[in-house]
Amino acid sequence: MGPKGRTKAAAALGMGSALSDSPAESVCRVRFRLLGTPEPVQQHVFSRARDRTAVVDFWFPDQGVVVEVDGRAKYGDGADAAAAHWQEKQREDFIRSFPEVRTVVRVVWADLMEPERLRAKLLRAGVPCR
C-alpha cells in the first residue's frame, strides 16, 4: 500500500465508532462528513425523572435536530409491524416533547445511497452542509 492508501486507511479507521448500532449508522456518519455537517452526538439520551428514556442515533444540539436511521426490519410484519409502528410513534412524540428538539429527521438507505437526498433533508431541517 502506498502513502495515499495508508492515508485513506488511517482516515477510515479514524472515523470508526463503537457507538454506531448498525451499518446504516456508520454509512450515515460518513455521509455527514462528506456533506460537511457539524459533528453530531451519537446515541444521545433524552430522559426525564420518572418517565421513559429514548436514545437517538444522532443529535445536532446547535440546530435542535435529531436524526434517526430507519430500516424496514425494525418494524417486522403484520400485527408486529403495527405494534412496532405505534411504539416508535410514542417514542418520537416523547423525543419531540423536549424543548431543545426542533425536529426529527428520518433517514433510510435510499437517502444514504443518494447523498443529495440526505443533504436536502438536512438542509430543510436546518442542519448546515457544505
Cell of 53: 428514556
Instruction: Check residue 36 and give left, alpha or beta (phi > 0: left; psi -120 to 50: alpha).
Output: left
Cell of 36: 460537511
Of 67, 85, 69, 87, nearest in space to 77 by CA = 85
Q: What percent of the chain has pLDDT over 90?
A: 63
Of 16, 12, 14, 118, nearest in space to 67 by CA = 118
CA contacts within 13 A on the Cβ side of 56: 28
pLDDT of residue 12: 41
Residues of the chain with pLDDT under 70: 1-22, 71-78
* pLDDT (tens digit per residue) in 52-81: 999 999 999 999 999 999 865 555 566 778
d(C-alpha 38, C-alpha 10), whole Å? 21
